[in-house]
Amino acid sequence: MKKIGVLIRKELLDILRDKKTLVMMVVVPIVLYPLLIIGMTLVIGSIMSSQENAVYIIGYETGYEETAKALEEIVSRNPQEFDTEIEFISFDKEEADSMLRFADVALRFKEQENGSLQVEISYDSANQNSSYACSMIENVVELYREDLVAEGLTKQGLDESFLYPVVSTTVDSASQAESFGMDIGGSIGMMMIVMILMGALYPAIDVTAGEKERGTLETLLTLPVTNFQMIFSKFVSVAVIACVTAVLSLVSMVGSVLFLIYGLAGDPIVEMGFSISGMMSTAPVLVVTMIVSALLCSALCMCFCVFAKSFKEANNYVTPLLLVVMIASMAGMIPSVTLDAKTALIPIVNVSLMMKQVLSQQFSLALAGLCNLVNLGASALIIWVLAKMYDSENILFADGFRSFRLFQKRSDIKEGTVPDSGDLMISVTVLFLLMLYVGSAASVRLGFWGTLVSQGLILAIPLLLVWYMKSDVRTLFSLQLPKRGSVIGSILLYLGVYCLIMVLSVALTAVFPESTENVELTFSEMSKQPFVILLLVTALMPAVGEEILFRGLLFGSIRENGKKRDQERSAAVYAILISSAVFGLFHMSLVKFFTTFLLGAVFAYIVWMTGSIYVTMCLHFVNNAFSMAVMKYPQTIGKVLPFLMAEELSVPEIAGILTVGVACAVLGLILLRRSNKTIVN
């Protein structure tokens, strides 16, 4: 802990002594933003006032002087609406075709057969003055029409209400602050994220690739510092700088806006529905969000920059990150997207959405907390994985893509290669995208049978990867028969954890109520199928495919890779945590995440202890088959095990299930450990 403090102090001092960083951090926000904001507003203001001060010339053919006079009279009658000078000029028939050369807008009048007058307004859309004059003259003509109608009605002895039996007016119930938040809240969120990212980018490159380029990293690695201490201290320093940059930017932006509103002798140049005191009440939330966003952005930047060997390389890696983050941060600008329990789970997007809510002063503290928690968790995960992934050798001497063996030619890959972290990341991402697009398309087209496509993908991608890598499938996937004792232990452990999961999921559904509509829809679709086919498609296929993917490929590869640097034990624990976290995320539901995570962890533990994936395949099959049975024959199951079907559990029931669960789990653990010892011996 003390070492981290020393390291952070050193990093900050080092960053702050770099002139380039200082320029990015201080000069850009303090000088550039006010210049841009005030400059732009003044320029736009002067353009607008020059438009209003101009004299617009309207040309028309001779012979319609009376109509022109009437139009002119309308303009002078409504000085508020038409606050510019308009001059009507008549042109002879011969000149009529070239009217637009002299006038901003040309009018041609034509008497229709039914006695009405058609007005053709020609203008030059490439000319701003012409466009402005055109829109103005359209309004004038419209008013003229109303005048004529009113005139006609009075002639007939009718009231105006004859023409307008129904009149609608709109009243905006949103307070000024609310509409302000909706209008610019989204873009403020985006600007904040981009500012933080810009602030984080330079120091992130400096402390990783920069340090490598200067050759000081090798020195740092000879010091008695662990990788975690090193990466964590760098991360904190980058986040601090990012925060400072963001605060400076925000202050200078707000300052220049305030200057625009009140600065010039109390005469507001720009009016905004924006109450300073209202903003103050949300300030604590804003500050927390900003700090958490800074952490997240720094973690993301670090994640890319650690790969790079030089400044130039780091810049190349960071460009895609910048694009993705910018686009994600634009979410707040899409009107229909709002912050809810689902969107709050997507990092960056949630910040942007939250800023919109905070600025329109109608945010929920719970959702804001969830967003920040998610982002904090994401950054912690990134940093933890980074520290694990990179031993000093990787950081120093390997080129950036060493952990992506997938990019090598297959003929260059040695027999028995274990997929590295980069390969796993790519294949899981590809699989996820395929499931999202191909899988869901297949489900829409083929209905129930579409799930077969997804299941096939889950099985195919890992097999393709290990084929390409020429991996040793037997050890990687733990393809061996288990000892009898360990099987009994595994079953007991599974039963125990199943009880715990049952209680957990009841508790979770109470905390996070989720709509069950979708689930019921697929259930009704499923229950049409005969039970055998159901078992095959929803129990057997996932049992094989998902076990191969999560317990075979992910758990196996991460553990094998981890063994190279860690003790066998910590490598396995790391592999269990990562593989089951991905397993949990794969089910894409907040409630299911925790339960599937737990189940995945237990399965991975069983594979580790028994050395056999067949055990968990069977357990996974039983698990899925059982829930299918519950769904298909609720009555029968309900009679045998009534508490399974209960919506809510009473306290003694919970206590009973928990006791049985814990007892089973502990017994299973003991059996597993004992049988594992005999295997080792």
Partner 1 sequence: MIEVCGLCKEFERNRRGEGKKQKVKKETFLAVDHVSLEAYEGEIIGILGPNGAGKTTLLRMLGMLMSPTEGSIVLTDEHGREIKELTEKKAAIGYLSGNTKLYPRFSVREYLQFLGELYGFDKRQIEKRSREIFKVLDMEEFVDNRIEKLSTGQTQRASIARCLMADPKVYILDEPTLGLDILSADAIIEFMREQKENGKIVLYSTHYLEEAQILCDRIYMIREGKVVAHGTPGALMARTETENLRAAFHAVYQMGDDSRAGFENDSTKEKIEGVRS
Cβ distance to partner 1 smaller for residue 72 or 391: 391
From 13-21, 134-142, 574-582, 646-654, span contacting partner 1 (CB under 8 A): 13-21
Among the listed residues 49, 62, 226, 310, the single contact to partner 1 using CB under 8 A: 226
How far is the first Cα of the chain from the last one, in angstroms, to the nearest whole number?
39
Q: How far is the CB of 196 from partner 1 (least distance, A)?
A: 24
Q: How far is the CB of 223 from partner 1 (least distance, A)?
A: 6
Helix, strand, coil percentages (3-state) for the chain, rounded to 5, are 75, 5, 20
Among the listed residues 62, 154, 176, 219, the single contact to partner 1 using CB under 8 A: 219
Site for partner 1 in 17-46 (CB under 8 A): 17-18
Q: Residue 27 has which token pair?
A: 């000069």
How does DSSP classify residue 481?
P
Dist CA 21 CA 202 (whole Å): 6
599 burial type by CB count under 10 A (0-12 exposed, 13-18 middle, 19+ buried): buried
From 40-48, 219-227, 446-454, 467-475, span contacting partner 1 (CB under 8 A): 219-227
Cβ distance to partner 1 smaller for residue 235 or 586: 235
Residue among 362, 371, 364 nearest 179 (CA): 362
DSSP string, 370-392: HHHHHHHHHHHHHHHHHHHH--H
Q: How far is the CB of 396 from partner 1 (least distance, A)?
A: 6
159 in contact with partner 1 (CB under 8 A): no
Q: How far is the CB of 224 from partner 1 (least distance, A)?
A: 4
- Residue whose token pair is 């559990």: 649
Cβ distance to partner 1 smaller for residue 225 or 434: 225
Quick one: how far is CA 465 from the chain centroid?
A: 28
Task: For residue 410, count other CB atoms closer than 10 A to its CB.
Answer: 10
Letter string b/e over residues 562-574, b meaning 16 or more CB atoms within 10 A of that residue's CB: beebbeeeebbbb
Dist CA 419 CA 562 (whole Å): 12
From 8-16, 127-135, 477-485, 544-552, span contacting partner 1 (CB under 8 A): 8-16
411 in contact with partner 1 (CB under 8 A): yes
408 in contact with partner 1 (CB under 8 A): yes
From 238-246, 347-355, 387-395, 590-598, span contacting partner 1 (CB under 8 A): 387-395
570 in contact with partner 1 (CB under 8 A): no
Q: Residue 587 has which token pair?
A: 């089910």
3 in contact with partner 1 (CB under 8 A): yes
DSSP string, 528-546: TS-HHHHIIIIIIHHHHHH
592 in contact with partner 1 (CB under 8 A): no
Cβ distance to partner 1 smaller for residue 155 or 409: 409
Among the listed residues 396, 438, 622, 649, the single contact to partner 1 using CB under 8 A: 396
225 in contact with partner 1 (CB under 8 A): yes
Among the listed residues 392, 475, 509, 589, the single contact to partner 1 using CB under 8 A: 392
393 burial type by CB count under 10 A (0-12 exposed, 13-18 middle, 19+ buried): exposed
Task: Show Cβ contacts of residue 435 under 8 Å, excluding neighbours closer than 6 positions.
Answer: 454, 457, 458
- Residue whose token pair is 């942007």: 352
6 in contact with partner 1 (CB under 8 A): yes
Among the listed residues 73, 85, 97, 393, the single contact to partner 1 using CB under 8 A: 393
Q: How far is the CB of 237 from partner 1 (least distance, A)?
A: 13
Q: Which residues bind partner 1 (CB under 8 A)?
A: 2-3, 6-7, 9-10, 13-14, 17-18, 214-216, 218-219, 221-226, 391-393, 396-397, 408, 411-412, 414, 564-565
